[in-house]
Structure 1
Amino acid sequence: MSSPYDPEHAPAGDVGAALLLIDSRLKSIHSGRTETDPEEKELMDQFTASLGPKGANDVLDGACTLIFMFMTWLRKAHEEHEKDVIEYVVPTLVATLRMMPRSIPPEAIPTMAGLVIAAGTGLSPNLWRKQYGQWTKAEMNPLEATAFLLAEHINRIADDPDFATRLITEALSQAEEE
């Protein structure tokens, strides 16, 4: 049975730009830096400022597409071991988001859990979220953190710090070839 929240009804957005942001964050964490490099932060600020409203919405949709793709991979990986992706991913994600109260407002955590559950059950996270109204500014950091944490989770499972990024770039390359 088809749902209006199925991924084929959702815009993919700018997955490349969203991946660039997540990959940049992953690399800065893995390099051992605790503070963002001022030059890197300035470049990212310039990049995001150059997007404009439509570009920002495209990156937002791209981040949701990343969450969907990450959860699809995680679901398949968990199913191979006869485990439920929701049971194993969501509690850890929520617990980690709760440990970041300066960046992640507590009221945004249920929305991020809902996005991940929607994606884990095969629904489009951005269409699921949009049924409740427009995105809020307070949800932007949690959305980025959610995509980052899912990518990091995949990297840990694969024991490869670049696996999640490679997973998406290979999928994008395949889509372009088709």
Structure 2
Amino acid sequence: MSSPCDPRYAPVGDVDAALMMIDSRLKAIYDGRTKSDPEAQELVDQFAASLGPKGARDVLDGACTLVFMFMSWLRAAYEDHERDVIEYVVPDLVAMLRAMPKSVRPEAIPTMAALVIAAGTGLSPSLWRKQYGSWTSTEMNPLEATVFLLAEHINRLTDDQDFATRLITTALAGAGDDD
């Protein structure tokens, strides 16, 4: 029986824009810039303002697609070592989100953990979330943090600061080959 949260029914969204935002955050952290760069933040704010409601929804769906793709890769990597992805990723993710109280309100953490668990069990994060109502503005920072932390987890596992980004860009490039 097929689930209504099956990824094949999910919108892919604007994965490029979502990845660009995550990649810029990763590079800033890896370059030692832990404080927010006002100029960079202004550019992100201008970009977000230029999207409009449909564009913002597309980036949101793109972020959910990244969660799914990252968790799919992590699931395969952990299964290769006979480990459960949920057991090894979710507790680390929750601990990191809890350590970010200025960006991630405590009430958003269960939703982000469930989103990752949905993806880790092969469900679409965006369709899973949709069944509980619309996204709220207070969930945007936690979602961005979740995608960032998953990418950073992959980069740590592979000991390669660009692996997660390359993983997605390679998949996107390969997706065009099916046309």
- Tell me the distance in 2 between the aligned counterparts of 1:177 and 1:48: 30
1:131 and 1:69 map into 2 onto residues whose CA distance is 20
1:81 aligns with 2:88: no
Instruction: Note the 1:163-178 alignment, pairs <5 A.
Output: 163-178=163-178
Match of 2:12? 12
Number of aligned positions between the proteins: 178
- Secondary structure of residue in 1 paired with 2:2: coil
Looking at structure 1, the residues matched to 26 and 177 of structure 2 have their Cα atoms a distance apart, in angstroms, of 27
- Gapped runs of 5+ residues in structure 1? none
| Letter in structure 1 aligned against 2:75 | R
Structure 2 residue 132 is matched with structure 1 residue 132 = yes
Cα separation, 2, equivalents of 1:73 and 1:49: 32
Residue type at the aligned position of 1:20: M
Correspondence list, 1:96-175, <5 A: 96-175=96-175
Deviation string 1:61-90 (CA, Å, 9 cap, x unpaired) is 000000000000000000000000000000
| Cα displacement string for residues 30-65 of structure 1 (whole angstroms, at most 9, x for unaligned residues) | 010121222211111111111000000000000000
Letter in 2 for 1:68: F
TM-score normalised by length of structure 2: 0.98
Could you tell me how far apart the structure 2 residues matched to 1:163 and 1:143 are?
20
Supply the AA of the counterpart residue of 2:88. Y
Alpha-carbon RMSD: 0.6
The answer for the alignment partner of 1:46 in structure 2 is 46
Residue 176 of structure 1: CA displacement?
A: 1.0
Could you tell me which runs of 5 or more consecutive residues in structure 2 were left unpaired when the two chains were aligned.
none
- 1:112-161 Cα shifts (integer Å, max 9, x gaps): 00000000000000100010000001100000000000000000001000
> Partner amino acid for 2:5?
Y
Q: String of CA shifts for 1:92-131, please: whole Å, max 9, x gaps.
A: 0001101111110100000000000000000000100010
Matched letter for residue 104 of structure 2 = I
